[in-house]
């Protein structure tokens, strides 16, 4: 996964870069404000943007809006200080798909990225609509209807439930094929194992068999 980091402090950009690179993610660019991020996004085409909220020239919220105008499918995770709840909510409404509270911790950053990858892969795997099995409605479509910030952002459990029902009732391919698709989507092996109820050794075997 190719990532762009946007923050007005060099220290924070270096910290996030270190975490990302140590966990196998490729940092393809950095920006120090929203205006620069908007321009670089069009050139670099990153898979993910880690975006600060408070920055000079153009803040993170406006940058999300501008990037989303250019690319509806842009994946953006916001970084905020404690006490910026209103700003985070505004960023989510503008199209951001997650948030982190500074100082950024490694486990939380990696988990947020894995959650984003998992949700994207899960939605893509639903094959047909069903009266009994439907993807859970994503509250980020109507953030104002949610009572809390966690309800807006943490939808992974809902998608997991629907995903497993789809597998059990035969609405998708075999677990083997689903695991292979999730590997190609870059989902962590531990998450794949939990979703399709196959051992990590079996999933590693798929990777070797298909040269993934």
Q: Do 191 and 116 have their domain in common?
A: yes
Contacting residues for 118 by C-beta, under 8 A, at least 6 apart: 156, 159, 160, 187, 191, 195
Other beta carbons less than 10 A from residue 86's beta carbon? 8
If asked whether residues 27 and 120 sit together in one domain, one would say no
Q: Are residue 82 and residue 123 in the same domain, yes or no?
A: no
Report the length, in residues, of the chain. Answer: 212
Average pLDDT taken over every residue of the chain: 76
Q: Give residue 136's region: left, alpha or beta (phi > 0; psi -120 to 50).
A: beta
DSSP string, 22-37: HTT-EEEEEESSHHHH
Residue 22 sits in the same domain as residue 85? yes
64 and 143 inside one domain? no
Final residue of a structural domain among 84, 105, 126: 105
Q: Is there a single domain that holds both residue 73 and residue 143?
A: no
Going from the C-alpha of 67 to that of each of 5, 71, 78, 141, 155, the distances in angstroms are 14, 6, 13, 18, 23
Range of the domain at 27: 2-105
For the entire predicted model, the pTM comes to: 0.61
Quick: pLDDT tens for 156-185: 444 444 455 554 444 444 667 777 777 776
Out of 48, 79, 105, pick the residue that ends a domain: 105
CB 203 within 8 A of CB 130: no
Cα dihedral: 186, 189, 193, 196 (round 10): 10
Neighbours of 82 (CB within 10 A): 7
Total number of domains in the chain: 2
What are the pLDDT digits (tens) for 99-131? 888 889 998 898 888 877 776 665 555 433 333
The confidence score (pLDDT) of residue 129 equals 39
| Model confidence band, residue 197 (pLDDT cutoffs 50, 70, 90) | low
**Are residues 85 and 148 in contact, defined by beta-carbon separation less than 8 angstroms?**
no
Query: What average pLDDT does the segment 32-36 reach?
Result: 97
């Amino acid at each position: 996964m190719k990532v762009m980091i946007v923050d007005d402090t060099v220290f924070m950009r270096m910290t996030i870069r270190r975490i990302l690179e140590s966990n196998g993610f490729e940092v393809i660019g950095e920006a120090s404000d929203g205006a620069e991020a908007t321009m670089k996004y069009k050139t670099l085409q990153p898979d993910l943007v880690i975006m600060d909220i408070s920055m000079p020239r153009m803040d993170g919220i406006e940058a999300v809006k501008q990037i989303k105008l250019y690319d509806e499918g842009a994946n953006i995770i916001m970084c905020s200080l404690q006490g910026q709840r209103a700003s985070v909510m505004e960023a989510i409404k503008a199209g951001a798909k997650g948030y982190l509270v500074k100082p950024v911790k490694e486990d939380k950053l990696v988990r947020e990225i894995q959650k984003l990858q998992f949700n994207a892969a899960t939605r893509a795997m639903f094959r047909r609509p069903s009266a009994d099995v439907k993807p859970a409605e994503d509250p980020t479509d109507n953030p104002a209807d949610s009572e809390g910030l966690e309800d807006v952002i943490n939808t992974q459990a809902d998608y997991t439930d629907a995903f497993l029902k789809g597998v059990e009732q035969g609405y998708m391919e075999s677990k083997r094929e689903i695991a292979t698709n999730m590997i190609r989507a870059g989902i962590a092996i531990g998450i794949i194992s939990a979703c399709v109820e196959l051992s990590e050794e079996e999933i590693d075997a798929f990777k070797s068999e298909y040269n993934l």
